[in-house]
């Protein structure tokens, strides 16, 4: 039994739900993200938020998977601050939906001034409503700088790091994130993030406290079964079932349960 | 799991994963050979045709040097090598994606 705490099922087929259920997935969380193109209106986001809070939970439930979500405008669409503020204005109207856990995946993409401004306004919104935060950290060469800027922005607004999950950490950012008291997620993504082998290396070096794994499966090259594959890699390397369960079930359950809305049954 | 507690011996790690990593080294070698064989200039700005002139292959070569220096935490150090170490936000995002490394030349 496992939880995939970051996957974009809007981009996946129903067959993927079936395969995940067969592999032992009982619950997922789906952050709002960039659709591969810039949406031209706030209404496009309102429709997307309806999909995340109404359509996907029903699709997941057909396979016994509990579906949860996080709402935001992704940093890739934050250069247009006017549009971003319109979308921010829509979010409170969806926060009382039963599967909404908080604000996410917010963060930075290219570490620009407008991205940072929109991130700060998302953080303020999350604080105002007392909800959890799921953070996207930038890609590749931008990740280290962006991770530090994001954590500084959280500190500047007095956010409790124990209520923030900073995702897509790698070997050069994981220690920074854990040392500042945040939770950290490792994304098992074939070319641009972590492999299962490297993720298990991180557990061996840094331990398993406040760390989880996810597939971040989406419309790109990605694998919705990445979490069970990492569990197999841990078992192959001789790790005990307790440790496997901790990173793929217990830790996500502990963090997400702070929302008061996370559940294991659809 | 306690940090710093490997479950396997050095012998087991090598037995388990040598072939997989042998293949990755050959993939890297073949990639560099492919770049050497390919025709054309590397960019429109009139760079020389030597593969060293591309900042990404240059960054790969610098990373390979770290693989061979005998020091620990190679993965972390390579990721840091390829990272942007500036500290201020940039004025505006020039594109959506990332290239994999800063220009180290």
Q: How far apart are CA B80 and CA A234, in angstroms?
A: 26
Q: How far apart are CA A129 and CA A71, in angstroms?
A: 13
Complex confidence, ipTM: 0.96
Nearest Cα residue to B54 out of B82, B67, B37, B35: B35
Q: Which of B76, B86, B94 sits opposite A145 (nearest CB)?
A: B86
- Residue B104 clears pLDDT 50, i.e. is over it: yes
What's the pLDDT band for B69 if we cut at 50, 70, 90?
Answer: very high
pLDDT of A65-114, one tens digit each? 999 999 999 999 999 999 999 999 999 999 999 999 999 999 999 999 99
Residue A159 lies inside a defined structural domain of this protein: yes
Structural domains counted in chain A: 1
Any CB–CB contact under 8 A between A50 and chain B?
A: no
Residue A32: Cβ-neighbour burial (10 angstroms; 0-12, 13-18, 19+): buried
Q: Which of B17, B75, B96 sits opposite A171 (nearest CB)?
A: B75
Residues A111/A138, Cβ–Cβ less than 8 Å = yes
Residue A89 lies inside a defined structural domain of this protein: yes
What pLDDT sits at residue B3?
67
At A72, which CATH number?
Answer: 3.20.20.140
Contacts of B1 in chain A (CB under 8 A): 203-204, 207-208, 239-240, 243, 246
State the residue range of the domain holding A77.
2-259
Q: Which of A111, A145, A205 sits opposite B4 (nearest CB)?
A: A205
Residue A266 lies inside a defined structural domain of this protein: no
Q: How far apart are CA A154 and CA B56, in angstroms?
A: 33
pLDDT of A35-64, one tens digit each? 999 999 999 999 999 999 999 999 999 999
Contact B92 A79 (CB under 8 A): yes
Boundaries of every domain in chain B: 51-84
What pLDDT sits at residue A245?
97
Q: How far apart are CA B90 and CA B97, in angstroms?
A: 15
Check: pTM over 0.90? Answer yes or no: yes
Residue A135 lies inside a defined structural domain of this protein: yes
Contact B84 A111 (CB under 8 A): yes
Residue A27 lies inside a defined structural domain of this protein: yes
pLDDT of A176-229, one tens digit each? 999 999 999 999 987 888 999 999 999 999 999 999 999 999 999 999 999 999
The shortest C-alpha distance from B60 to chain A (Å) reads: 13
Handedness of CA A64, A62, A220, B31 (dihedral sign): positive
Q: What letter would DSSP give residue A139?
A: P
- Residue B46 clears pLDDT 60, i.e. is over it: no
Residue A141: Cβ-neighbour burial (10 angstroms; 0-12, 13-18, 19+): buried
Residue in chain B nearest A74 by alpha carbon: B96
Residue A265 lies inside a defined structural domain of this protein: no
**A69's tokens:** 């979500």
């Amino acid at each position: 039994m496992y939880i995939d705490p970051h996957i974009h099922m809007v981009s996946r087929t129903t067959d993927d739900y079936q395969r995940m259920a067969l592999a032992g997935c009982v619950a997922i969380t789906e952050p709002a993200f960039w659709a591969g193109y810039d949406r031209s209106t706030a209404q496009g986001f309102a429709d997307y938020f309806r999909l995340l809070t109404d359509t996907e939970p029903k699709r997941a439930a057909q396979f016994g998977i509990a579906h949860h979500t996080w709402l935001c405008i992704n940093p890739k669409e934050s250069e247009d601050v006017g549009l971003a503020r319109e979308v921010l204005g829509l979010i409170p109207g969806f926060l009382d939906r039963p599967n909404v856990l908080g604000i996410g995946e917010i963060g930075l993409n290219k570490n620009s001034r407008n991205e940072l401004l929109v991130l700060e306004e998302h953080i303020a919104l999350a604080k105002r409503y007392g909800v959890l935060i799921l953070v996207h950290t930038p890609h590749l060469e931008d990740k280290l700088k962006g991770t530090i800027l994001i954590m500084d922005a959280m500190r500047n607004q007095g956010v409790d790091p124990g209520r923030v999950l900073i995702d897509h950490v790698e070997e050069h950012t994981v220690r920074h994130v854990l040392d500042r008291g945040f939770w950290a997620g490792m994304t098992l993504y074939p070319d641009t993030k972590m492999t299962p082998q490297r993720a298990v290396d991180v557990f061996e070096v840094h331990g398993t406290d406040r760390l989880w794994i996810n597939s971040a499966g989406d419309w790109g090259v990605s694998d919705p079964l990445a979490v069970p594959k990492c569990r197999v890699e841990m078992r192959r390397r001789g790790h005990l079932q307790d440790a496997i369960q901790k990173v793929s079930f217990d830790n996500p359950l502990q963090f997400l349960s702070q929302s008061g809305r996370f559940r294991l049954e659809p | 799991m306690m940090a710093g507690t490997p479950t396997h011996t050095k012998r087991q790690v090598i037995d388990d994963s040598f072939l997989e990593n042998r293949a990755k080294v050959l993939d890297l070698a073949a990639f560099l050979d492919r770049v050497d064989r390919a025709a054309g200039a590397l960019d429109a700005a009139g760079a020389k045709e030597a593969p060293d002139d591309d900042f990404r292959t240059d960054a790969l070569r610098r990373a390979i040097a770290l693989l061979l220096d005998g020091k620990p935490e190679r993965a972390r150090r390579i990721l840091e090598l390829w990272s942007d170490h500036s500290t201020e936000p940039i004025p505006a995002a020039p594109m959506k994606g990332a290239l994999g490394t800063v220009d180290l030349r």
